[in-house]
Structure 1
Amino acid sequence: MPTGLRVLTVRQKPGNRSKGLLRAGPLVFPCALGHGGISANKREGDGATPLASMRILSGYFRGDHFAAARRTRLGMAPISADLGWCEVPDDRNYNRPVKLPYPVSHEYMKRDDRLYDACLVLDWNIRPRRRRCGSAIFFHLARPNFTPTQGCVAVSARTMARLLPLLSQRTTLKVLR
């Protein structure tokens, strides 16, 4: 595998709208997609993965569960118990990290299911933010059997550990059809 990756490409697996194939250089890995498949018209709550080219901005990790996240050129912050991500379109912090407790609906970043043990923030709907166009679109760890996400792209912990040293803020994740 090359020393650094500029592009990761994701395509839907034939015959299954919520499973995909992620290409990293010459290698291909299975991945999970949103239960709504891939959409060119992403909306909050639709469960779709956006059809888009998204830079990897930064990430979060659980040092107690996923030490491999320390081996990357990305800016990675530890996940604390009070870290959340706002998902309410009319809130001033929509699609932003928030400190918990937070008064409106939000994602808990320190999850028991370990999906966010390594969680990379994609630049979907970050700048500019458009209300109701989707929040918390991450590149994170997959559930067993790659069951669907809420719109994110997810890979196995082993794949993430393999990719992290090759990723930087210059890396783009392209979701294609």
Structure 2
Amino acid sequence: MTRKIKSRAPLPRLLVRPSPLSKSRAIVQLGHLTFQAAIGRKGRTAFKCEGDGKTPIAQMPLLYGFIRGERMRAVQTRLTLRRAVKPMLWCDAPSDPNYNRMVKAPFKPSHEEICREDGLYDVCLVLDWNVRCRQRNRGSAIFMHMIRPGYEPTAGCVALHPRDMRRLLSHLHGGQIIQVL
């Protein structure tokens, strides 16, 4: 069950700072809250390209999210969370007209499954990287989602531990800026 919580005063930007430990690690900070995170396997870039394995250095509004209700219950947030269901996919094929958009199965071009079995997208927040103003090959499916064991790097997303994601969700709202430094 997802419950919306009442609006509060605007929060500071959510900052994603590079970690001194590794180019594929980061520190996520929102006010006094600080969490470890995994980012792109090849680090960060100001010139994101599809498939480069890098996290874009940018200010990205938080648009909305997906949640696997059967896996994450009683989440409190001001962010719009859509229940993830099996036919939901995200197109990452630059040549397709649906590039960097949600699509439904069956869908032949390259895509991400939103209802993954590995739990990475049990909560999946859509960042506005190349979503509202799309350009071919500028990168797709830049999400904030759950980590793999050992904080393994992502393909360009920001990944958090489930307990940290749950804690952060209560402070997030649509339009809030995620700033990767």
Scaled to the shorter chain, the TM-score interval is: over 0.9
Q: Which runs of 4+ in 1 moved over 4 A?
A: none
- d(CA) in 2 for partners of 1:113, 1:3: 36
The one-letter code sitting in structure 2 at the alignment partner of 1:22 is V
Distance in structure 2 (CA, Å) of the matches to 1:137 and 1:170: 15
Q: Among 8, 11, 17, which residue is 2:17 paired with?
A: 11
SS in 2 for 1:5: coil
Amino acid at match of 2:174: Q
TM-score, scaled relative to structure 2: 0.92
Map residues 1-177 of structure 1 onto 2, 5 A cutoff: 5-69=11-75, 71-176=76-181
Q: Secondary structure at the match of 1:16?
A: coil
Q: Runs of 5+ in structure 2 lacking a partner?
A: 1-7
Q: Is the 8 A contact 1:4 1:167 kept in 2?
A: no
Provide the identity percentage.
Answer: 47
User: Structure 2 CA distance, aligned partners of 1:154 and 1:124?
Assistant: 15
After TM superposition, give the deviation of residue 4 of structure 1 in Å. 5.8
- The amino acid that maps onto 1:31 is A
Structure 1 gap ranges (5+): none
Structure 2 SS opposite 1:20: strand
Q: Indicate if the aligned counterparts of 1:39 and 1:48 stay in contact, CA closer than 8 A.
A: yes
Q: CA deviation at 1:68?
A: 4.2
Whole-angstrom distance in 2 between the partners of 1:46 and 1:34: 9
Q: Residues 156 and 138 of structure 1: is their aligned pair in 2 closer, same or farther, counting only changes over 3 Å?
A: same
